[in-house]
Amino acid sequence: MDDAPPYWTLLSVLFSTQPLTPTLAMTLHQAAYDLYRKGDSVGQVAGDLISGKVHNLRKDVHLGGITGPAFEAEIDTERGSGVVRFLLTRQGLELMEARPPPPKTRPPLLN
């Protein structure tokens, strides 16, 4: 995700009991984006500093001029347990869908 847009373009946090770092925000974004694309209800989120579940609330949220699908995450971090409610912005979804898929690597040929 090195070439991904900044996290504040991708998601908007509605409520959080834990401070969100850029890395944590991008981890939540990726888990939610995967759920959104697959149409799944619940997914795991895991990383060096986080573990938990992300729930697709299956509804759109409108906050001023920002709209998008809503998600809730129950997370455990080095600072303790928490809940984060957020939405994926329509602008962020459009940017992610416009990105080309990562190149598939081919296994090395054996002689």
Any idea where the domains of the chain sit in the sequence?
7-98
- Cα radius of gyration (the chain): 15
Q: Is the pLDDT reported for residue 5 higher than 80?
A: no
pLDDT digits (tens, 9 = 90+) for 32-70: 999 999 999 999 998 888 899 999 999 999 888 889 999
Task: Count CA within 13 A, CB hemisphere, residue 7.
Answer: 14
Model confidence, pTM: 0.79
DSSP letter for 99, please: S
Distance separating alpha carbons of residues 48 and 24, to the nearest angstrom:
10
pLDDT of residue 2: 54
Whole-angstrom CA distances from 88 to 12, 55, 71 are 7, 13, 8
Helix (H) or strand (E) holding 54: strand 50-63
